[in-house]
């Protein structure tokens, strides 16, 4: 039976409420324009999955402490910084149904806001001596950048194998969820150890959850109705996801050539995109991806 988000959050509901207050306070600044943008960022927050992973992992491994709250704030600050920069890179006007920072305040301000959030996160850790947490999260940000660049490099040739796909999603998506779980465990460990058995196990757990999460997101691209993102968006953006990779693997040479030609040259054409979606469904790509996710 699938649990609702409210049920998953119930063991840490009071901590999440407290975190909200602390995080809002940490976003305050004397620069009026910046304060206005920070208020907007706080207002448009999503489901807060990442802080949730931090608190659930901390509670699993020990007693939630002030370091746990700082770890959750660090994750949110650095993650939000990467999202603000991503919207600039992708020239995106929307994020979670809200206007993006760059759409409202232009690219230059959005890049500076991303830098500011990054520095707030670094200072929060350095000022409190949370070097163990800073190291975990900094490694994740490094991996996320590498994963994004690896995907861009491979997308040019549309030659992504299954192994490369797993490496991309491990770095791009799973590394951050893995770091949430590792930060939670590390924040309650003795002497704030950066590495121990609990931290390693929680990191591994987070990585697997993160990879399953990304495959689920890839499957939405082939869904019957829109769930959070338009159908066929990955195909239009020439992203090679697991259902498509698997379908191409089992296709004949001619069929493979035809599909790759559509993705390369006609991905803006809705009718052609529908052909690719039908090809993936017929080839069993969705069933395979669902099995891997599970």
| Per-position b or e across 227-247, b if 16+ CB within 10 A of its CB | eeeebbebbbeebbbbbbbbb
DSSP for 32-75, please give it.
Answer: HHHHHHHHHHHHT----HHHHHHHHHHHHHS---HHHHHHHHHH
Distances (CA, A) of 158 to 164, 183, 185, 216: 12, 35, 39, 21
Bridging pattern class, strands 98-99 and 94-95: antiparallel
- Give how far the C-alpha of residue 92 lies from the chain's centroid of Cα atoms, to the nearest Å: 16
Token reading at 32: 């009026």
Domain 18-220 classification at class level: mainly alpha
**Which residues 6+ apart lie within 8 Å of 161 measured at CB?**
245
Looking up tokens 């979606």 gives 277
Q: Three-state SS for 94? A: strand
Residue 192's pLDDT is 55
Residue 163: its H or E element: helix 162-169
Closest CA to 170 of 152, 187, 148: 148
Per-residue pLDDT of the chain (294 residues; tens, 9 = 90+): 677 888 888 889 889 888 888 887 777 788 888 877 777 777 776 678 899 999 999 999 999 999 999 999 999 888 888 877 777 777 676 666 677 777 667 777 778 888 888 888 899 899 999 999 999 999 998 999 899 888 888 777 777 889 999 999 999 999 999 999 999 999 998 765 556 899 999 999 999 999 999 999 889 888 754 455 556 777 777 788 999 999 998 888 898 889 888 888 887 888 888 888 889 989 889 999 999 999
Global confidence as pTM: 0.85
Angle at 293 between CA 287 and CA 294, to 5 degrees: 90
Q: Three-state SS for 176? A: helix
Residue 77's pLDDT is 87
Question: How far is Cα 205 from Cα 187, in angstroms, rounded to an integer?
Answer: 17
Domain ranges of the chain: 18-220
Distances (CA, A) of 239 to 158, 216, 270: 8, 15, 16
Asked whether 174 and 142 are in contact (CB, 8 A), the reply is no
Residue 65's pLDDT is 92
Asked whether 222 and 275 are in contact (CB, 8 A), the reply is no
Question: How far is Cα 95 from Cα 83, in angstroms, rounded to an integer?
Answer: 9
Token reading at 60: 């699993």
**Which residues 6+ apart lie within 8 Å of 210 measured at CB?**
169, 170, 173, 174, 175, 176, 177, 178
Closest CA to 77 of 115, 110, 22, 118: 118
């Amino acid at each position: 039976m699938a649990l609702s988000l409210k049920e998953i959050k119930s063991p840490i509901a009071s901590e999440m409420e407290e975190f909200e207050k602390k995080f809002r306070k940490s976003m305050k600044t004397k620069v009026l324009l910046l304060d206005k943008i920070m208020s907007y960022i706080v207002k448009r927050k999503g489901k807060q999955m990442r802080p949730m992973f931090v608190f659930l992992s901390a509670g699993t491994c020990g007693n939630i402490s002030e370091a746990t709250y700082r770890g959750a704030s660090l994750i949110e600050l650095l993650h939000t910084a990467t999202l603000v920069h991503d919207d600039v890179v992708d020239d995106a006007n929307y994020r979670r149904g809200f206007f993006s920072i760059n759409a409202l305040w232009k690219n230059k301000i959005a890049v500076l806001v991303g830098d500011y959030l990054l520095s707030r996160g670094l200072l929060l850790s350095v000022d409190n001596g949370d070097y163990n947490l800073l190291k975990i999260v900094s490694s994740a940000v490094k991996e996320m950048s590498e994963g994004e660049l690896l995907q861009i490099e491979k997308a040019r040739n549309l030659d992504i194998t299954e192994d490369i796909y797993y490496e991309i999603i491990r770095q791009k998506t799973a590394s951050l969820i893995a770091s949430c779980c590792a930060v939670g465990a590390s924040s309650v460990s003795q002497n704030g150890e950066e590495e121990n058995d609990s931290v390693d196990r929680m990191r591994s757990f987070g990585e697997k959850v993160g990879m399953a999460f990304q495959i689920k997101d890839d499957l939405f691209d082939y869904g019957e109705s829109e769930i959070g993102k338009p159908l066929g968006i990955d195909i239009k953006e020439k992203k090679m996801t697991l259902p498509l990779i698997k379908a191409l693997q089992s296709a004949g040479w001619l069929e493979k050539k035809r599909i790759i030609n559509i993705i390369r040259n006609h991905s803006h054409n809705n009718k052609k995109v529908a052909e690719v979606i039908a090809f993936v469904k017929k080839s069993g790509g969705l069933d395979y991806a669902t099995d891997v996710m599970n």
